[in-house]
Each structure stands twice: as C-alpha cells, then as structure tokens.
Structure 1
Amino acid sequence: MNKTELIDHIAQQAEISKAAAGRALDAVIGGVKGTLKKGGSVTLVGFGTFAVGKRTARTGRNPRTGDAIKIKAAKVPKFRPGKALKDALN
C-alpha cells in the first residue's frame, strides 16, 4: 500500500474527503517526525512504538574500489510493533 492508497482507505473508513484524509495523514506523519527529531518516542497503543536509535561510527568498505571508508555515527528511526499488531498477523 502506498500513500495514495492509504489516503483513499482513510477517507473511505472515516467517511471524510480525500483532501481531509490527506491532511490528517500528513499531520500524523509530521507529529511523529517532530517528536523523533526532539529525541522522543511515539507510542500508539495496540499498534507500536516509534523511537530514535543510535548507530555508532564504523569503518566500511567501498564496494567498487575496496578502500576503507569512515561511516559517521547517525540517529535512526526504529519501530517496535505492539502486541495487538503482532497478534493480528499470526
């Protein structure tokens, strides 16, 4: 499912226009991004938790030349599914 299909699904299930569903989805995504950017986490009970993880600096290899390269430390988004989501899949 892509973003357009998700907006269509939200509009149909909530009985709202596609424009309103698109704004609602953008607001949710923006809220999650903003919270993660501040270092927080977002928990949606029954769905899961979005959090920020840390990836340490490391040495990698350039696949084309084989030379060693330095990869900087980075913050990465992580998602841990909730029990209800896991149960729905099994």
Structure 2
Amino acid sequence: MNKQELVDAVAAATGNGKAVTGETIDAVIAAITGAVTMGDTVQLIGFSAFSTGARAARVGRNPATGVEIQIPAAKTVKFTAGKAFKDAVNGA
C-alpha cells in the first residue's frame, strides 16, 4: 500500500474527502517526525511506538575494494509494533 492507497482507504472508511484525508495524514506524519526528531517517543497504544536510537561509530569495508572505512556514529529511528498490531499480523 502506498500513500495514495492509504488516503483512499481512510477516506472511504471515514466518509471524508480525499483532499482533507491527505492533509490529515500529512499532519500526522509531520507531528510524529517532529516529535521523534526532538528526541521524544511517540506511542500509539496497540499500534506502535516510534523513538530514536543511537548507532556507534564503527569500522566497515568498502565491498568493491575491500578497503576499511570509518562509519560515523548516527541516530536511528526505532519502530516497535504494539501487541494488538502484532496479534493482528499473526492472526491471533
């Protein structure tokens, strides 16, 4: 499912127009992105939690040449599925 298909599905389920639904989905994504960027955790009980993590600097290898390279430390985004979401996917 891509974003347009998501907009179509939500619009059909709520009875709202696709333009309003698209703006709402964009606003939700922006709010989640903004909160996680600031270091907050966003918890949607039963669905998921979005948070930040840290990846340490490490040594890697260029697969084409085999030369060692330094990979810098970086922040990562963590997505943890909620229990209800996991149960729905697993058919429980």
TM-score bracket relative to the smaller structure? over 0.9
Q: For residue 30 of structure 1, what is the aligned residue in structure 2?
A: 30
Structure 2, unaligned runs of 5 or more: none
Cα distance in 2 for partners of 1:68, 1:75 equals 22
**TM-score when scaled to structure 2?**
0.95
Runs of 4+ with deviation above 2 angstroms = none
Deviations 1:19-77 (A, max 9, x none): 11110110010001000110011000110101101111111100111100111111111
Q: For residue 73 of structure 2, what is the aligned residue in structure 1?
A: 73
Q: For residue 48 of structure 2, what is the aligned residue in structure 1?
A: 48
**TM-score when scaled to structure 1?**
0.97
Deviation at 1:89, TM superposition (A): 1.5
- CA RMSD between the two structures: 0.7
| Count of residue pairs brought into register by the alignment | 90
Structure 1, unaligned runs of 5 or more: none
Q: Percent identity?
A: 50
Cα distance in 2 for partners of 1:58, 1:15 equals 50
SS at match of 1:13: helix
Q: 1:67 is aligned with what amino acid? A: V
Cα distance in 2 for partners of 1:19, 1:2 equals 16
